[in-house]
Amino acid sequence: MTGAVLQVFGASAASSRRHVSKRDAFDPLGRKWTHANISYRLESFPDTLSANATREALGVAFSKWSDVSPLSFTEVRRRDADITIGFYALNHSDCGSSPLHPCFDGVNGELAHAFLPPRGEIHFDKDELWIVGRSRFSWRRGAWLNDLVQVAAHEIGHALGLRHSADPRALMHPNATTTGQRDVGRDDVRAIRRLYGCVDKKRACERWAGSGLCERRKRLMKKTCPRRCRLCSEPPEVVATPTPPASVRVKVVPRGKVVAFRCSPKNPKARWPPKVSWYKDGERIAASVPGHIALKGRDLRIVANEFNEGVYTCRLGGRGPAADSWSVRLRNPDRGRG
């Protein structure tokens, strides 16, 4: 392809972190789409999700940008779609011919990469274990389960013309994939609207605003009538983290701290059973993982980080009743998030 040099931006799993220079989310060369209705086409699918689940996840990812910009997104079947999306293994398309387009490396490495306009391509590593839901490490499989919504939303930002953001609270921060930042932040909103503007999507905006909906239905008006309600510069609402049940003991710890648990029976006089099972967020922990978790009988130790946040439960006698539960949360969770 001739013309301007195209840049590709990728996301890598936490197990293969690397330094990425901080850059403003807005592309200084101003590469963007010249129309607001962006079409996209799926060329291939992951092995771990059905076609319908993949389409739904990508729809959610695209909506994160359509909710805060004048852009709309439509899936099409024709080959001249603006953005093409596919899941590929190892050597794919023209990877390797340019340092800006790396080939994939199998499980637990490079997750995805995307090209700035006008190329409009998003590539996902087909060898990764893709899910819909928060990314986490699967102790049973020994690999990361990667949230397609989160990774796709980050890569879509690149495909729309956004570079990495220096704001740790931004979806376009280079560490967003590692920390699981799922929603657009203030810097993301500023950047996408600097490229594409802020446009009301309904002809009824003036009438709705006049009837007081800017105050009474702020979420609706922020999405459909941001200019009329002067909401263009405001970020989306922050969704609070659900509070764990009262029976779960909460530990709020700094990142990097080693947290130790000991499983104890409800009845202190009961005979200690020979088998103890540990679970994280309902999934059994089968073995220790160096640098992340140490499992030894009734004792469990973890290193506090974004992926190790969650609820840890021990059970007596394999499938017996839960003996103890702890919810681990990071102190100052926004630090390093993006």
Q: Which residues are annotated as a binding site?
A: 82, 92, 94, 105-106, 113, 123, 125, 128, 154, 158, 164, 172
How are beta strands 136-138 and 72-75 bridged, if at all?
unpaired
Respond yes or no on whether the N-terminal peptide bond of residue 118 is cis (omega within 30° of 0). Answer: yes
DSSP alpha helices (H): ranges in the chain?
Answer: 51-66, 148-159, 176-179, 186-196, 205-210, 213-216, 218-224
Q: Which is nearest to 213 in space by CA: 204, 108, 37, 25?
A: 204
| Known binding positions for Zn(2+) | 92, 94, 113, 123, 154, 158, 164, 172
Contact 219/237 with Cβ under 8 angstroms? yes
Query: What is d(CA 61, CA 53) in angstroms, rounded to the nearest whole number?
Result: 12
Contact 63/40 with Cβ under 8 angstroms? no
| Known binding positions for Ca(2+) | 82, 105-106, 125, 128
Point out the catalytic residue in the list 155, 215, 234, 283: 155
Q: Catalytic annotation on 155? A: yes
Beta bridge partners of 41: 84
Query: What is d(CA 85, CA 9) in angstroms, rounded to the nearest whole number?
Result: 14
DSSP string, 50-102: -HHHHHHHHHHHHHHHHTTSS-EEEE--STT-SEEEEEE-SS-TTTTSSTTSP
User: Catalytic positions, please?
Assistant: 155
